[in-house]
Amino acid sequence: MLYNKNMNNEEAYYYLFDLENSYVEDIISEWRDNKGNPKARQSWRVIPANMLIKEYHYSAKTSLTHDSIIEKFQDIVIENYLKLNINTILFGHSSINPFSNYEIYFPEDFTSEDFDELFEDFEWFAVDEKGNWRISDYGLDKIGGYVIALLEEEDYNKKLAWIDSILNVAHQRSDLASWFVEGGRRTLSALY
């Protein structure tokens, strides 16, 4: 994933908008390819726990970071934030009408009824290993603000701090951190 390391606020929003469009296409395609397969799950990457713990400890000891590792973390948290946003809209848990928002990804004669039929049973596809829907009514706004700050930041130590802020957003529905880092809250507890 390529991004400008010196983004301003407006560039960060446009970058996320363009990136989200590509993820919408991927999610719709992945869902269509797996519709009817009750064992299929939405593809989802998380930060490996050991890698995160090692980077935190390295940063605490040296006040330095491995820039390439921070970029990997950044890519994962941005991807998962965008997927959460898309899933939340597709599940109908936002003020945005899913069909109206995503109708450009379907043939011209595709109706809202066709859309509803296509995404019938989407909830079993977009779940984590514990059966929780990968959506967030509360956490998205907070994470979104942190993602913009992360994209605007040039200092990799501060990028790590923004990633930490993202990982520590909590909500009552499930272990939100587990959708960003292997082990979720348990891993975050091992960092301190």
Please tell me the pTM assigned to this model: 0.92
Alpha helices of 37-174 — where are they, by DSSP H?
49-62, 67-90, 98-102, 112-118, 122-125, 139-152, 156-167
- Domains of the chain: which residue ranges? 9-35+45-190
Question: If you average pLDDT over every residue of the chain, what do you get?
Answer: 91
Cα 100 versus chain centre, distance: 22
- pLDDT given for residue 1 in this prediction: 39
What angle in degrees, to the nearest 10, is found between the helix axes of 67-90 and 139-152?
Answer: 150
Tens-place pLDDT, residues 8-59: 888 998 999 999 999 999 999 999 999 889 889 999 999 999 999 999 999 9
Q: Which amino acid is at 121?
A: D
Cβ atoms within 10 Å of 185's Cβ, excluding its own: 15
Query: Using 50, 70 and 90 to split pLDDT, how confident is the model at 5?
Result: low
Please say whether the beta carbons of 134 and 46 come within 8 A: no
Element housing 12 (H / E): helix 9-34
